[in-house]
Structure 1
Amino acid sequence: MPEGKKTYYINISDGEIQSVSTASPWNFKIEANDEEITALREIFDQSHSTGWQNFMRAHVPYVQYHYDRENDALDRQLIQTYEMIHKLGDEEARNHIESMGILPEK
């Protein structure tokens, strides 16, 4: 493991970052330093905030999804999350994310 990096277990749907694999269900295993974990936590926090904005607006049926800025922000945050997990994840995490086809072409 690279120096200064620790193993973390990520639960995407709950936005959880755990250092113990048995603490709760997880989707991806990553190796990250403190700065990288802080950046991932900030993305999760932004997604949670945007998610609440969407929840509060859910009763406005005349705004179509593709015209909704909050949905655009949530989509960008989701892609940022997967990009970061792809960068920091183990081989299984990278392969799974690549198979999803969610990352933009480089």
Structure 2
Amino acid sequence: MNFLEDIDIERFNTEAARRDAVGLLPLVFETFGASAVTTTSFGAEDQVLTDMLAGLGNPLELLTIDTGRLPQETFDVMEQTRYLFCPYGMGRGENHFK
């Protein structure tokens, strides 16, 4: 069974269009629950989004893609993010997109 079959996407889209980013994030968790994940490149804007998501108090699952060419600074930010926001670990694309 596809979990999207149980979601009224039209209603979600209508409600989402009325909200700013701060209001949209709770709607995502209310609608998609534990299935909600976010991707990150660990840039400044993604760190702001991660902090906003973590502030909601829901379990936070972040996905990232390690291209094998990331600078050390990215790995440093990744470790700090994992420590601050993801005490249960972070997923990588190959674990989630099979």
> Which of the five TM-score ranges fits, normalised by the shorter chain?
under 0.3
TM-score, with normalisation over the residues of structure 2?
Answer: 0.27
Q: Which has the higher helix share?
A: 2
Q: Which has the higher strand share?
A: 1
